[in-house]
Structure 1
Amino acid sequence: MEVDLRRHERIRRLQAPVRGVSGHTSRVRVEPLGESALILRELPVPPPVAAAKLNEVPGVVEAYAAFDTVAVIVDGPVDEHSLVEAVSSSGILELSRRHAIPVLYDGEDLEEVAARVGLTREETIALHAREYECRAVGFCPGFAYLAPLASPLDGLPRRASPRARVAPGSVAMAAGMTAVYPLERPGGWWIIGRTPLVLVDEVEDYFPIRAGDIVRFQAIDEREYASRMGERLTGAGL
């Protein structure tokens, strides 16, 4: 099979190292997507944030965020290095709102989760209580898909038997992602804790977490859980 070496050379050159959300180094990949579009992979920031910045680049018609990539529609030749610079420029994360969610780690599945991944209860909590990107919002109003889970938590599949009812505020994880159930719903994720905060209010159209936001889980005790019961989640700094 004949290989387009020029295309592969272009992709290799554009794998410039940039600093990501959590301080780790990432290499943005820019690849052709048909004749008038490009796709950016291995982004250092949430795709919705990257798309917002890419829409400001001259020659970009529209940038569309997916779960972990961004497709860029272009009008004629575009300096692809300018695309990489746009998603790695200083201050880009200011476009993301930041949320801190307190969690009482006493979920009914916590012990089984720890056993399945070969960790202690305390190690599981410490590994989960960290910063995540909101990749998408869906399933039910305000349900934020947060990623990535750290290894070995990311290898945990969905439960074999979903629950008919998961209480609002339940903190759960499965299939490389974690989330908080903002409303009562059926669910097949592993429940490891609960938050006292109110994450949505459908009557008042209150949905504070949006795609591209940064969310950090913080472990709390029962006293703090009780004192913060019913408090609304805000976009306060972490």
Structure 2
Amino acid sequence: MANFATHVAVAGMVATGMASGIAVTGMLSWSDSLILGVFLVAGTLLPDIDVDGGRPQRWLFSLLALAAAIVASSLTTRMQTTPLFTVPGQTVSCEAIAAGFLVWLLIRYPAAYLFQRLTRHRGLCHSLVVGGLWGLGWVYLGLQCLASEPLTIWLQGMTLFLGFLVHLVLDEAYSVDINNARIKRSFGSALKIWEPDFPVGSLLATAALMGLVWLLPYPHELIQWLHRGVQLLG
């Protein structure tokens, strides 16, 4: 398998090329294109979230905890009106701060520890169905909780999955020993649709993915954007 530095380097090159191409063609602004590049790099770290104590796991759970805390604070602010202090254009309540901190604490430590105990490297987290969950999960949360344009959220979710796929393909490429003309024992363990050794988890992940597909609206904006991109390339 490729090491952490290799994954980050390859992801950086792919993200730079993608962001530059999108921005130069005028499909998106430079700022939005660069944000997509960040999502692609983040996506390449996601399959290694099951490496116990590894840097991807620490970074990802820190980011997940922060994102969950922001979402929890935002949702609590909508439901509660007891103000702690006010910043221009927004009221931050005691409940919102407490909810955000509690969610961050739970995800960063107990959830991370439980995840370490229940997963193994190159298991279910290295499957395409989980990659789809990451991408569509972000789209669902973004459409529900963020004030961004739907096209922006859909592109971020799609780019997250693309980064996930880049990681899996790179790991499979490293499973082939070109010098000795042989295929390593790890071949086939990185790029897979499901985890055959964990059928229950694979079925649950597939059911969750289908549920997201059912819940999400049809991506009209994304389809139109992709169609415009095809026309520009043609």
TM-score, structure 2 as length reference: 0.23
RCO comparison, higher one (Cα < 8 Å, 6+): 2
- Give TM-score, length-normalised by structure 1: 0.23
Query: Whose helix fraction is larger, Structure 1's or Structure 2's?
Result: 2
